[in-house]
Structure 1
Amino acid sequence: MEHLDSVPERQGLVIFLNGTSSSGKSSIAAELSAILDEPCFHLPVDAFHAMRSNATVPPDRLGTVLHRTWRGFHRAVAGMAAAGNDVVVDHVLSAEWRLRDCLSLFDPRHVVLVGVHCPPEELARRERERGDRPPGLAARQLEQVHSHGVYDVECDTSRATPRECALLIKEFLANRPTPTAFERLGAAL
Protein backbone atom coordinates (compact mmCIF):
# COMPACT_ATOMS: atom_id res chain seq x y z
CA MET A 1 0.00 0.00 0.00
CA GLU A 2 1.39 3.39 -1.01
CA HIS A 3 1.78 6.03 1.61
CA LEU A 4 -0.23 9.15 0.84
CA ASP A 5 2.88 11.30 1.06
CA SER A 6 4.47 9.29 -1.76
CA VAL A 7 1.61 9.80 -4.24
CA PRO A 8 2.87 12.16 -6.95
CA GLU A 9 0.92 15.37 -7.45
CA ARG A 10 -0.91 15.66 -10.73
CA GLN A 11 -3.78 17.63 -12.15
CA GLY A 12 -6.54 15.42 -13.48
CA LEU A 13 -7.80 15.79 -17.01
CA VAL A 14 -11.39 16.94 -17.56
CA ILE A 15 -12.96 15.62 -20.76
CA PHE A 16 -15.97 17.91 -20.99
CA LEU A 17 -18.75 16.57 -23.24
CA ASN A 18 -21.10 19.44 -24.10
CA GLY A 19 -24.28 18.92 -26.08
CA THR A 20 -28.02 19.07 -25.81
CA SER A 21 -30.17 16.60 -24.00
CA SER A 22 -30.41 13.36 -26.04
CA SER A 23 -27.33 14.21 -28.12
CA GLY A 24 -25.44 11.08 -27.01
CA LYS A 25 -23.11 12.43 -24.32
CA SER A 26 -23.78 9.65 -21.80
CA SER A 27 -23.25 6.94 -24.41
CA ILE A 28 -19.92 8.50 -25.44
CA ALA A 29 -18.90 8.83 -21.78
CA ALA A 30 -19.60 5.13 -21.19
CA GLU A 31 -17.43 4.20 -24.17
CA LEU A 32 -14.65 6.56 -23.05
CA SER A 33 -14.69 5.03 -19.59
CA ALA A 34 -14.14 1.63 -21.19
CA ILE A 35 -11.26 2.61 -23.51
CA LEU A 36 -9.23 5.29 -21.72
CA ASP A 37 -5.81 4.15 -20.52
CA GLU A 38 -6.07 5.93 -17.15
CA PRO A 39 -8.84 5.33 -14.60
CA CYS A 40 -11.51 8.00 -14.84
CA PHE A 41 -14.78 9.05 -13.26
CA HIS A 42 -17.89 9.70 -15.34
CA LEU A 43 -19.69 12.60 -13.67
CA PRO A 44 -22.96 13.36 -15.42
CA VAL A 45 -24.90 16.41 -14.26
CA ASP A 46 -28.05 14.24 -14.26
CA ALA A 47 -26.55 12.14 -11.46
CA PHE A 48 -26.32 15.22 -9.27
CA HIS A 49 -29.96 16.05 -9.92
CA ALA A 50 -30.87 12.44 -9.08
CA MET A 51 -29.08 12.68 -5.71
CA ARG A 52 -31.35 15.51 -4.54
CA SER A 53 -33.94 14.45 -2.00
CA ASN A 54 -37.60 14.27 -2.95
CA ALA A 55 -38.51 17.25 -0.75
CA THR A 56 -41.11 19.41 -2.43
CA VAL A 57 -39.63 22.58 -3.86
CA PRO A 58 -42.06 25.46 -4.37
CA PRO A 59 -42.05 26.70 -7.98
CA ASP A 60 -40.70 30.11 -6.94
CA ARG A 61 -37.61 28.40 -5.42
CA LEU A 62 -36.97 25.79 -8.12
CA GLY A 63 -34.63 28.03 -10.13
CA THR A 64 -32.51 28.72 -7.05
CA VAL A 65 -32.29 25.01 -6.15
CA LEU A 66 -31.29 24.08 -9.71
CA HIS A 67 -28.70 26.88 -9.84
CA ARG A 68 -27.12 25.69 -6.59
CA THR A 69 -27.07 22.11 -7.91
CA TRP A 70 -25.23 23.12 -11.09
CA ARG A 71 -22.75 25.28 -9.12
CA GLY A 72 -22.10 22.37 -6.74
CA PHE A 73 -21.65 20.01 -9.68
CA HIS A 74 -19.02 22.29 -11.22
CA ARG A 75 -17.15 22.47 -7.91
CA ALA A 76 -17.27 18.69 -7.47
CA VAL A 77 -15.75 18.22 -10.93
CA ALA A 78 -13.06 20.82 -10.21
CA GLY A 79 -12.29 19.13 -6.88
CA MET A 80 -11.98 15.67 -8.40
CA ALA A 81 -9.61 16.99 -11.08
CA ALA A 82 -7.58 19.03 -8.57
CA ALA A 83 -7.12 15.82 -6.54
CA GLY A 84 -5.53 14.21 -9.63
CA ASN A 85 -8.52 12.29 -10.97
CA ASP A 86 -9.41 12.19 -14.65
CA VAL A 87 -13.06 13.09 -15.13
CA VAL A 88 -15.45 12.65 -18.03
CA VAL A 89 -18.11 15.35 -17.66
CA ASP A 90 -21.51 15.01 -19.27
CA HIS A 91 -23.09 18.49 -19.21
CA VAL A 92 -25.32 20.92 -21.08
CA LEU A 93 -23.94 24.46 -21.36
CA SER A 94 -27.41 25.84 -22.03
CA ALA A 95 -26.80 29.02 -20.04
CA GLU A 96 -23.81 31.32 -20.41
CA TRP A 97 -23.18 31.49 -16.66
CA ARG A 98 -22.47 27.74 -16.60
CA LEU A 99 -19.56 28.11 -19.01
CA ARG A 100 -18.25 31.16 -17.12
CA ASP A 101 -18.46 29.26 -13.83
CA CYS A 102 -16.54 26.29 -15.27
CA LEU A 103 -13.94 28.62 -16.79
CA SER A 104 -13.37 30.16 -13.35
CA LEU A 105 -12.96 26.76 -11.65
CA PHE A 106 -11.18 24.35 -14.00
CA ASP A 107 -7.48 24.43 -14.92
CA PRO A 108 -7.90 25.34 -18.60
CA ARG A 109 -4.69 23.54 -19.63
CA HIS A 110 -6.25 20.28 -18.46
CA VAL A 111 -9.69 20.51 -20.06
CA VAL A 112 -10.64 18.95 -23.38
CA LEU A 113 -13.87 20.57 -24.53
CA VAL A 114 -15.82 18.22 -26.79
CA GLY A 115 -18.74 19.44 -28.89
CA VAL A 116 -21.35 16.70 -29.15
CA HIS A 117 -23.59 17.57 -32.09
CA CYS A 118 -26.77 16.03 -33.43
CA PRO A 119 -29.30 17.45 -35.93
CA PRO A 120 -32.66 18.69 -34.57
CA GLU A 121 -34.68 15.98 -36.36
CA GLU A 122 -32.61 13.22 -34.79
CA LEU A 123 -32.78 14.88 -31.36
CA ALA A 124 -36.59 14.99 -31.62
CA ARG A 125 -36.68 11.31 -32.63
CA ARG A 126 -34.47 10.34 -29.68
CA GLU A 127 -36.62 12.34 -27.26
CA ARG A 128 -39.75 10.56 -28.48
CA GLU A 129 -38.02 7.19 -28.21
CA ARG A 130 -36.68 7.87 -24.70
CA GLY A 131 -39.94 9.25 -23.38
CA ASP A 132 -38.25 10.59 -20.22
CA ARG A 133 -37.61 14.16 -21.39
CA PRO A 134 -40.03 16.97 -22.24
CA PRO A 135 -40.64 17.10 -25.99
CA GLY A 136 -38.60 19.87 -27.58
CA LEU A 137 -36.11 20.20 -24.71
CA ALA A 138 -33.10 19.53 -26.94
CA ALA A 139 -34.37 21.94 -29.62
CA ARG A 140 -34.73 24.69 -26.99
CA GLN A 141 -31.16 24.05 -25.78
CA LEU A 142 -29.57 23.84 -29.23
CA GLU A 143 -28.92 27.53 -29.88
CA GLN A 144 -27.24 28.31 -26.55
CA VAL A 145 -25.35 25.04 -26.01
CA HIS A 146 -22.85 25.63 -28.82
CA SER A 147 -23.02 29.45 -28.93
CA HIS A 148 -19.47 29.87 -27.57
CA GLY A 149 -18.30 28.23 -30.82
CA VAL A 150 -14.90 26.92 -29.68
CA TYR A 151 -14.03 23.25 -29.15
CA ASP A 152 -10.95 21.09 -28.99
CA VAL A 153 -12.69 18.24 -30.78
CA GLU A 154 -16.21 17.74 -32.16
CA CYS A 155 -18.35 14.77 -33.10
CA ASP A 156 -21.73 14.25 -34.71
CA THR A 157 -23.63 11.38 -33.13
CA SER A 158 -25.96 11.09 -36.10
CA ARG A 159 -22.98 10.10 -38.25
CA ALA A 160 -20.75 8.25 -35.79
CA THR A 161 -21.46 5.66 -33.10
CA PRO A 162 -20.65 6.42 -29.47
CA ARG A 163 -17.65 4.09 -29.78
CA GLU A 164 -16.37 5.93 -32.87
CA CYS A 165 -16.78 9.27 -31.07
CA ALA A 166 -14.90 7.91 -28.03
CA LEU A 167 -12.08 6.64 -30.23
CA LEU A 168 -11.85 10.05 -31.94
CA ILE A 169 -11.57 11.74 -28.53
CA LYS A 170 -9.00 9.22 -27.28
CA GLU A 171 -6.92 9.76 -30.43
CA PHE A 172 -7.11 13.53 -29.88
CA LEU A 173 -5.83 13.14 -26.29
CA ALA A 174 -2.50 11.77 -27.50
CA ASN A 175 -1.56 15.07 -29.21
CA ARG A 176 -3.52 17.85 -27.53
CA PRO A 177 -2.59 21.21 -29.03
CA THR A 178 -2.28 24.41 -27.06
CA PRO A 179 -3.87 26.72 -26.37
CA THR A 180 -6.85 24.60 -25.41
CA ALA A 181 -10.42 25.66 -26.12
CA PHE A 182 -10.81 26.54 -22.42
CA GLU A 183 -7.66 28.70 -22.59
CA ARG A 184 -8.98 30.50 -25.69
CA LEU A 185 -12.44 30.97 -24.16
CA GLY A 186 -10.98 32.25 -20.89
CA ALA A 187 -8.82 34.77 -22.73
CA ALA A 188 -11.82 36.00 -24.72
CA LEU A 189 -13.91 36.75 -21.60
Structure 2
Amino acid sequence: MPTDETAGPAGRPHLPEDPSPGLVIFLNGTSSSGKSSIARALAAQLDDPCFHLPVDAFHAMRSQPELAPDRLPDVLRRTWLGYHRAVAGMAAAGNTVIVDHVLSEPWRLWDCVALFRPQDVVLVGVHCPLPELERRERARGDRPPGLAARQYTRVHAHGLYDLECDTGSTGPDECARTIKDFLSDRPTPTAFERLAALGPDAR
Protein backbone atom coordinates (compact mmCIF):
# COMPACT_ATOMS: atom_id res chain seq x y z
CA MET A 1 0.00 0.00 0.00
CA PRO A 2 1.42 3.40 -0.92
CA THR A 3 1.86 5.69 2.07
CA ASP A 4 2.05 8.94 0.10
CA GLU A 5 -1.46 10.32 -0.40
CA THR A 6 -0.40 11.53 -3.85
CA ALA A 7 0.64 8.03 -4.94
CA GLY A 8 -1.59 5.90 -7.13
CA PRO A 9 -1.49 2.24 -8.18
CA ALA A 10 1.98 0.68 -8.10
CA GLY A 11 3.36 3.82 -6.50
CA ARG A 12 2.69 5.99 -9.52
CA PRO A 13 1.96 9.64 -8.74
CA HIS A 14 -1.71 10.53 -8.53
CA LEU A 15 -2.26 13.44 -10.91
CA PRO A 16 -4.89 16.03 -10.02
CA GLU A 17 -7.99 16.26 -12.14
CA ASP A 18 -8.10 18.97 -14.76
CA PRO A 19 -9.38 22.18 -13.12
CA SER A 20 -12.08 24.41 -14.47
CA PRO A 21 -10.53 27.02 -16.76
CA GLY A 22 -9.67 30.36 -15.22
CA LEU A 23 -10.43 33.88 -16.36
CA VAL A 24 -8.15 36.13 -18.41
CA ILE A 25 -8.68 39.84 -17.79
CA PHE A 26 -6.93 41.33 -20.81
CA LEU A 27 -5.95 45.01 -20.61
CA ASN A 28 -4.85 46.45 -23.96
CA GLY A 29 -3.47 49.92 -24.52
CA THR A 30 -0.44 51.90 -25.57
CA SER A 31 2.68 52.28 -23.51
CA SER A 32 2.05 54.70 -20.59
CA SER A 33 -1.73 54.35 -20.87
CA GLY A 34 -2.04 53.11 -17.26
CA LYS A 35 -2.56 49.38 -17.80
CA SER A 36 -0.16 48.29 -15.07
CA SER A 37 -1.65 50.71 -12.55
CA ILE A 38 -5.14 49.38 -13.28
CA ALA A 39 -3.89 45.79 -13.07
CA ARG A 40 -2.31 46.36 -9.65
CA ALA A 41 -5.45 48.08 -8.37
CA LEU A 42 -7.66 45.30 -9.72
CA ALA A 43 -5.51 42.58 -8.17
CA ALA A 44 -5.91 44.33 -4.81
CA GLN A 45 -9.69 44.58 -5.23
CA LEU A 46 -10.55 41.07 -6.45
CA ASP A 47 -11.83 38.72 -3.76
CA ASP A 48 -10.10 35.59 -5.08
CA PRO A 49 -6.36 35.09 -5.69
CA CYS A 50 -5.17 36.21 -9.10
CA PHE A 51 -1.94 36.70 -11.02
CA HIS A 52 -0.83 39.92 -12.71
CA LEU A 53 1.34 38.85 -15.65
CA PRO A 54 2.66 41.96 -17.41
CA VAL A 55 4.49 41.47 -20.67
CA ASP A 56 7.19 43.86 -19.47
CA ALA A 57 8.14 41.31 -16.81
CA PHE A 58 8.78 38.71 -19.50
CA HIS A 59 10.96 41.09 -21.48
CA ALA A 60 12.86 41.92 -18.27
CA MET A 61 13.56 38.22 -17.61
CA ARG A 62 15.34 37.83 -20.95
CA SER A 63 19.13 38.02 -20.82
CA GLN A 64 20.71 40.85 -22.77
CA PRO A 65 23.61 39.55 -24.87
CA GLU A 66 24.88 41.58 -27.79
CA LEU A 67 22.69 40.80 -30.78
CA ALA A 68 22.97 41.73 -34.41
CA PRO A 69 20.10 44.10 -35.29
CA ASP A 70 18.62 41.59 -37.72
CA ARG A 71 18.23 39.02 -34.91
CA LEU A 72 16.32 41.25 -32.50
CA PRO A 73 12.87 41.05 -34.17
CA ASP A 74 12.90 37.24 -33.97
CA VAL A 75 13.98 37.30 -30.31
CA LEU A 76 11.19 39.75 -29.47
CA ARG A 77 8.62 37.72 -31.39
CA ARG A 78 9.58 34.54 -29.54
CA THR A 79 9.29 36.40 -26.25
CA TRP A 80 5.73 37.46 -27.12
CA LEU A 81 4.83 33.95 -28.26
CA GLY A 82 6.14 32.45 -25.02
CA TYR A 83 4.34 35.07 -22.98
CA HIS A 84 1.01 34.24 -24.62
CA ARG A 85 1.50 30.54 -23.92
CA ALA A 86 2.44 31.19 -20.30
CA VAL A 87 -0.78 33.16 -19.83
CA ALA A 88 -2.81 30.42 -21.55
CA GLY A 89 -1.21 27.79 -19.31
CA MET A 90 -1.94 29.69 -16.10
CA ALA A 91 -5.56 30.20 -17.14
CA ALA A 92 -5.92 26.55 -18.20
CA ALA A 93 -4.82 25.56 -14.68
CA GLY A 94 -7.80 27.46 -13.26
CA ASN A 95 -6.14 30.74 -12.34
CA THR A 96 -7.45 34.25 -12.83
CA VAL A 97 -4.83 36.10 -14.83
CA ILE A 98 -4.61 39.87 -15.36
CA VAL A 99 -2.74 40.64 -18.56
CA ASP A 100 -1.45 44.02 -19.63
CA HIS A 101 -0.64 43.98 -23.29
CA VAL A 102 0.14 46.15 -26.31
CA LEU A 103 -1.67 44.87 -29.40
CA SER A 104 0.33 47.07 -31.76
CA GLU A 105 0.92 44.14 -34.12
CA PRO A 106 -2.16 42.28 -35.42
CA TRP A 107 -0.56 38.83 -35.09
CA ARG A 108 -0.32 39.28 -31.31
CA LEU A 109 -4.10 39.54 -31.03
CA TRP A 110 -4.78 36.59 -33.29
CA ASP A 111 -2.25 34.41 -31.51
CA CYS A 112 -4.11 35.11 -28.26
CA VAL A 113 -7.50 34.47 -29.87
CA ALA A 114 -6.22 31.07 -31.02
CA LEU A 115 -4.74 30.17 -27.61
CA PHE A 116 -7.23 31.43 -25.02
CA ARG A 117 -10.74 30.10 -24.35
CA PRO A 118 -12.67 33.02 -25.89
CA GLN A 119 -15.60 32.69 -23.48
CA ASP A 120 -13.18 33.13 -20.56
CA VAL A 121 -11.52 36.37 -21.69
CA VAL A 122 -12.59 39.88 -20.71
CA LEU A 123 -11.01 42.27 -23.22
CA VAL A 124 -10.60 45.78 -21.81
CA GLY A 125 -9.56 48.72 -23.95
CA VAL A 126 -7.41 51.17 -21.96
CA HIS A 127 -7.53 54.58 -23.66
CA CYS A 128 -5.76 57.84 -22.90
CA PRO A 129 -5.52 61.10 -24.89
CA LEU A 130 -2.27 61.41 -26.82
CA PRO A 131 -1.08 64.65 -25.13
CA GLU A 132 -1.39 62.97 -21.74
CA LEU A 133 0.41 59.87 -23.02
CA GLU A 134 3.26 62.04 -24.23
CA ARG A 135 3.41 63.89 -20.89
CA ARG A 136 3.58 60.59 -18.99
CA GLU A 137 6.21 59.26 -21.36
CA ARG A 138 8.43 62.29 -20.73
CA ALA A 139 7.92 62.01 -16.97
CA ARG A 140 8.81 58.31 -16.94
CA GLY A 141 11.98 58.68 -18.93
CA ASP A 142 12.27 54.91 -19.45
CA ARG A 143 10.54 54.66 -22.82
CA PRO A 144 11.77 55.72 -26.27
CA PRO A 145 10.37 59.16 -27.14
CA GLY A 146 7.33 58.86 -29.39
CA LEU A 147 6.62 55.21 -28.56
CA ALA A 148 3.04 55.84 -27.40
CA ALA A 149 2.36 58.03 -30.45
CA ARG A 150 3.55 55.30 -32.80
CA GLN A 151 1.27 52.78 -31.09
CA TYR A 152 -1.69 55.13 -30.69
CA THR A 153 -3.66 54.28 -33.84
CA ARG A 154 -2.60 50.63 -33.94
CA VAL A 155 -3.38 49.07 -30.58
CA HIS A 156 -7.17 49.50 -30.86
CA ALA A 157 -7.45 48.85 -34.60
CA HIS A 158 -9.40 45.61 -34.10
CA GLY A 159 -12.22 47.72 -32.64
CA LEU A 160 -13.96 45.18 -30.38
CA TYR A 161 -13.99 45.23 -26.57
CA ASP A 162 -16.06 43.95 -23.69
CA LEU A 163 -15.31 47.08 -21.70
CA GLU A 164 -13.36 50.33 -22.20
CA CYS A 165 -11.92 52.93 -19.87
CA ASP A 166 -10.19 56.29 -20.27
CA THR A 167 -7.31 56.89 -17.89
CA GLY A 168 -7.08 60.51 -18.96
CA SER A 169 -10.20 61.24 -16.93
CA THR A 170 -10.48 58.21 -14.60
CA GLY A 171 -7.99 56.96 -12.03
CA PRO A 172 -6.78 53.36 -11.79
CA ASP A 173 -8.81 52.51 -8.69
CA GLU A 174 -12.05 53.61 -10.34
CA CYS A 175 -11.19 51.78 -13.57
CA ALA A 176 -10.46 48.66 -11.52
CA ARG A 177 -13.80 48.92 -9.70
CA THR A 178 -15.61 49.23 -13.03
CA ILE A 179 -13.88 46.08 -14.30
CA LYS A 180 -14.59 44.18 -11.08
CA ASP A 181 -18.28 45.13 -11.23
CA PHE A 182 -18.41 44.04 -14.87
CA LEU A 183 -17.08 40.56 -14.04
CA SER A 184 -20.15 39.60 -12.03
CA ASP A 185 -22.50 39.89 -15.01
CA ARG A 186 -20.50 39.41 -18.19
CA PRO A 187 -22.57 39.45 -21.40
CA THR A 188 -22.08 36.99 -24.22
CA PRO A 189 -20.76 36.63 -26.79
CA THR A 190 -17.50 38.04 -25.50
CA ALA A 191 -15.25 40.23 -27.61
CA PHE A 192 -12.88 37.28 -28.07
CA GLU A 193 -15.79 35.09 -29.22
CA ARG A 194 -16.79 37.73 -31.76
CA LEU A 195 -13.18 38.08 -32.93
CA ALA A 196 -12.82 34.31 -33.23
CA ALA A 197 -15.96 34.22 -35.39
CA LEU A 198 -14.59 36.97 -37.64
CA GLY A 199 -11.14 35.46 -38.07
CA PRO A 200 -7.89 37.30 -38.79
CA ASP A 201 -8.79 38.06 -42.39
CA ALA A 202 -11.84 40.13 -41.43
CA ARG A 203 -9.82 43.28 -40.72
What TM-score, normalized to structure 1?
0.96
Match of 1:59 among 43, 60, 69: 69
Decide which structure has greater helix share: 1
Counterpart-to-counterpart distance in 2, 1:153 and 1:12: 19
Distance in 2 (alpha carbons) for counterparts of 1:100 and 1:156: 24
TM-score (norm 2): 0.90
* 3-state DSSP of counterpart to 1:89: strand
Unaligned runs of 5+ in 1: none
Q: 1:95 to 1:6 in 2, by over 3 A?
A: closer
The match for 2:125 is 115
Q: Is residue 29–residue 103 contact of structure 2 (8 Å, CA) maintained in 1?
A: yes
Residue from 181, 187, 190 that aligns with 1:177: 187
Q: Report runs of 4+ in structure 1 exceeding 4 Å deviation.
A: 2-8
Match of 2:42 among 10, 13, 32: 32
How far residue 75 of structure 1 moved from its aligned partner, in angstroms, is: 0.4
Alignment of 1:32-181 (within 5 A): 32-181=42-191
**C-alpha deviation, 1:54, in angstroms:** 1.9
Q: Helix, strand or coil: the match of 1:159? A: coil
CA distance in 1, matches of 2:27, 2:117: 16
The CA deviation string for residues 156-188 of structure 1, in whole angstroms up to 9 with x for no partner, is 001110000000000000000000000001101
The alpha carbon displacement at 1:63 in A equals: 0.3
Shift of 1:89: 0.2
List per-residue Cα deviations over 1:35-80 (Å, max 9, x = no partner): 0111110000000000001211210100000000000000000000
Q: Which amino acid counterpart does residue 166 of structure 1 have in structure 2?
A: A
Do the aligned residues in 1 keep the contact of 2:55 with 2:100 (CA within 8 Å)?
yes
Q: How many positions carry a matched residue from both structures? A: 188
* Shift in alpha-carbon separation, 1:109–1:119, aligned structure 2, 3 A: same
Give the drift of 1:7: 6.5
**8 Å CA contact 2:128, 2:167 repeated in 1:** yes
Alpha-carbon spacing, 1:37–1:7, altered in 2? closer, same or farther (3 Å): farther
Q: Is this contact kept in 1: 2:132–2:168, CA < 8 A?
A: yes
Contact 2:19 2:92 in 1 (8 A): no
Two-structure CA RMSD over aligned residues (Å): 1.4
Sequence identity (%): 70
